[in-house]
Amino acid sequence: MLSVPPTPLKGSTYSKTSHVVLPCKKLNDCSVACITRPGYFHRGHSMPSKRTRSGCWTCRDAGYKCDEGKPICGRCLRLNIDCKGYGLRLKWREYDAQAPKTTKPRTRRSSASSSAASTATDLPSPILVHTPPTTVTFFPGTPGIDNDLLRHWVLDVSPLLCVGASKGHNPFQTHLTAMAFQHEPLRHTLSYMAATHLAALSNQAIWTDLASKHQRAAISLLRRALCDPTELGSDATLATTLMMQVCARFTGDEEPTTNHLIGAKGMILSRGGPATTSSSCFRFLYDLFAYHDILFSITRGVQPYLKYDGLSSSDMGMLVGCTSDILQLVAEISCLHTWKKSASADTYSMPQAFLDSGLDLKRKLQLWTPSDANTESALSGEAYRHAAFIYLYRVLYNIGCPHPTTLMHVKLCLDSLRRIASTSSFAAAHVWPLFTAGCEAIAAEDRNFVRRRLEEMFERRKMPSLRRVLDAIEQVWVGKDAEARRGVHMMAGLDCIALIRSSGKVVEVV
């Protein structure tokens, strides 16, 4: 990514030596811990080690000196490891309901502060020109380039994010596109996503550079919005935060560097959740958060951030591809998993209430039936149901392949997915069942299907997250096959998620 050193904030003294970590701000129970800017050092903080300087994030995280080569530094190239680039990072602090609320936003003095409109676009870098929505310009002298990006977002990117978009209703377009013209952080976030997708499609550096600049602008403007209590409680700020999480699907990073769900959780809790508002936009954003939270909880190995009850909106159905009650059962299995981990015990040492809860979830999955048989929605629901069985048996009994029960659900899950074309919009919701059944597949035919389906999905969608999912599955296959040589019981006891996490990776299955 293109590294453009930011202009120092007014009123602060910087020297171009290393980096600055801006102090955390308490913001209406939700806060940003820091934004790290490469290239500047604040006089008044202790001098960081010269080994970190303004190098790539891979070298800085590891504490090694970086030669700052572009686009890949020399150390990462030599070691053949992922170079995470030089962009900004946004870190969130956990929501604290007991924290005192900030009632007055922090403002920055400037010669243009007498104009109320100037506060919305007073960015030190990059240059922003705020014009009417029909002619939004990002770079002076290059009119219309933002319109091209937003057009790509509307026509090509947003349909990739939900099922059934071809039938005329797309909640991302309905709720976010119009809002983006009035809210700069959201507009830059959507433009960042569109530019990243175009870079993957065309392999042209111009789109990578644009993506980097839009990312910088989005993070800087979002941080400013979080300093304003009114903006903090708006749908637009929540949408911006969640879409930054969605952006991780389009980036080439080895794994997401920031968990924006933490910030989104604080915003949702500070507003009292969906029961306190009738806004259809907030309801969609809540469903979008729940979808990512529940599926991400599986690979994090923890329970979801929020407790969900009644995920039944039509927008949720367009995210998961089937009735959302299946997703709610998956959330309950994650809670069961956390219960077991916190007790540091096997199933047979757990209290009877644990086993009763697991058996109750098993009965609910057995009784679930699709509302409309022989449709792509019903087939997607069946794939989710059998993936949930595989997940439940791993949590409840610590079994996987080659146990006959697990293999039965693997076959039924993959058979349901085989009946849906990879070109269908429903394939957008199939990453988790493909991952869950794929990790436990042992037959060459099943493994080849999973590999081929994910490769076809990538070629059609150009989302690097799909490649990361396939890499994780193949890592599990290597581990499973190695354990099989030691004995069948060793293979059945190998936890796929634990194996992936042991290598330091966290894969997103959305």
Please report the DSSP string for 264-322 in residue order: HHHHHHHTT-GGG---HHHHHHHHHHHHHHHHHHHHHTS--SS-------HHHHHHHSS
Could you give the C-alpha distances from 437 to 334, 389, 443, 473, 496, in angstroms and in order? 17, 10, 11, 10, 11
- Which pLDDT band holds residue 136 (cuts at 50, 70, 90)? very low
- Judge contact between 163 and 169, C-beta under 8 A: no
Taking only the tens place, the pLDDT of each residue in 168-223 is 688 999 899 889 988 999 999 999 999 999 999 998 888 989 999 999 999 999 99
pLDDT average, residue stretch 219-230: 92
Question: pLDDT of 391-442, one tens digit each?
Answer: 999 999 989 999 999 999 999 999 999 999 999 989 989 999 999 999 999 9
To which residue do tokens 């940003």 refer?
Answer: 32
Kindly tell me if the per-residue pLDDT of 291 is higher than 70. yes
Summarised one tens digit per residue, pLDDT across range 35-59 is 443 333 333 444 444 444 578 878 8
Please enumerate in sequence order all residues whose Cβ is within 8 A of that of 430, keeping only pairs 6 or more positions apart, or say none: 321, 380, 383, 417, 420, 453, 457
Reply yes or no on whether the pLDDT at 281 is more than 70.
Answer: yes
The set of residues, in sequence order, having a beta carbon less than 8 Å from that of 10 and lying 6+ positions away, is 108, 109, 110, 124
- Backbone conformation region of residue 508, classed left if phi is above 0, alpha if psi is from -120 to 50, else beta: beta
At 441-461, the pLDDT tens digits run: 999 999 999 999 999 999 999
Secondary-structure breakdown of the chain: helix, strand, coil percentages, each rounded to the nearest 5: 55, 5, 40
In angstroms, the CA 190 to CA 138 distance is 13
Q: Which range has the worst mean pLDDT, 103-117, 175-189, 294-308? A: 103-117
The type of residue at 276 is T
Which comes out higher in pLDDT, residue 184 or 503?
184
Highest mean pLDDT among 92-101, 191-200, 347-356 belongs to: 191-200
**Beta strands at 31-38 and 19-21: parallel, antiparallel or unpaired:** antiparallel
b/e for 430-440, b at 16 or more Cβ within 10 A? bbbbbbbbbbb
Distance CA 287, CA 284 (A): 5
Q: Report whether pLDDT(374) > 60.
A: yes
